[in-house]
Amino acid sequence: MSLLEVKSLNSFYSDSHILFDVDLRVEPHEVVALLGRNGAGKSTTMKSLMGLVRPRSGSIRFNGEEVSGRPAHVIARAGMQLVPEERRIFGSLDVEENLKLARLTASHSAPMDSIFATFPRLGERRRSRGADLSGGEQQMLAIARAMVRKPKLLLLDEPFEGLAPVIVRDLMSVCRELARAGQTILLVEQNLAATLALADRAYIINNGHIVHEGPTAEMKAKPELLQRHLGL
């Protein structure tokens, strides 16, 4: 049984139709990427899955349960966790409080020490307010905040955006480590090389329609496909 199965999902922002009959599937322990140009509907897909945007129609089956239209806190408790594009760290809370908040309702949670073992930098800054962290540290905290809940499905929305190459490399290795440990991930990322290296399979979304689906190995071999849909 798929961990996530999305069928004919339609989402709107007020009156504008953003997602058109999106179909998606993520198997347990799989890393799946969602590729597309800016404004293609990638973030809206992620937000619709998490319940932060209420889909107009369609079905989202997660872990055998229909979650479309349910509130975000119910979906989070079912085991889905979004690392949002804007990071959305709580700036007035310190690093530890950010993590503590995330753990409050988690049925299984990772011990703080294991989080700080993965992100030693966060351990050093455990008493710093979220607002005082650098962009890279905030992104680490955003990922750590999701990981502390031990989610069944991790949604990563542009985790490498706007970060220095050194930090991207560090975060990449964290993601690779997570994937190797069996974490199921749905990834949205502009950095194509990083995405193709991490993901087993990818969907290409264009103007709110899924236009292609296949293993990343196959896509790497067809540059014309990527060029046509992503303008590379």
Partner 1 sequence: MLNWANFISQLFNGLVLGALLALISSGLTIIYGTLGVLNLAHGAMFMLGGYAGWFAYAHTGSFVVAVICGSLFVMIVGVVMERVVIRHFYDRPDEDQLLVTFGLGIVFVEAVRFAFGSLSKTVLAPEALAGITSLGFMFYPTYRLALLGIVVAALLALYAVLYKTRLGLMVRAGIEDARMVEALGINIQTVFVIVFGIGAMAAGFAGIVNAPVVSIAPDVGEGILVQTFVVVVIGGVGSFGGAVLGGLVAGEIISLTSMFNPAYAYVMLFVAMTLVLVLRPRGLLGAAGRE
Contact 8, 19 (CB under 8 A): no
Residue span binding partner 1 (CB under 8 A) among the ranges 91-99, 165-173, 177-185, 188-196: 91-99
One of 82, 153, 188, 199 touching partner 1 (CB under 8 A): 82
Among 20, 72, 176, 225, binds partner 1 (CB under 8 A): 72
Q: Does 1 bind partner 1 (CB under 8 A)?
A: no
Say whether residue 76 binds partner 1 (CB under 8 A). yes
Q: Based on the number of CB atoms within 10 Å of its own CB, is 16 exposed (0-12), middle (13-18) or buried (19 or more)?
A: exposed
Q: What is the dihedral of CA 44, 47, 51, 57, to 10 degrees?
A: 20
Considering only residues 135 through 174, tell me which ones interact with partner 1, judged by CB under 8 A.
Answer: 145, 149
Closest CA to 125 of 150, 94, 149, 160: 94
Q: Which of 5, 12, 52, 172 contacts partner 1 by CB under 8 A? A: 52
Nearest one of 76, 137, 123 to 102, comparing CA atoms: 76
Give the footprint of partner 1 on this chain (CB under 8 A).
50-52, 71-73, 76-77, 81-82, 84, 88, 90-93, 97, 100-102, 104-106, 145, 149
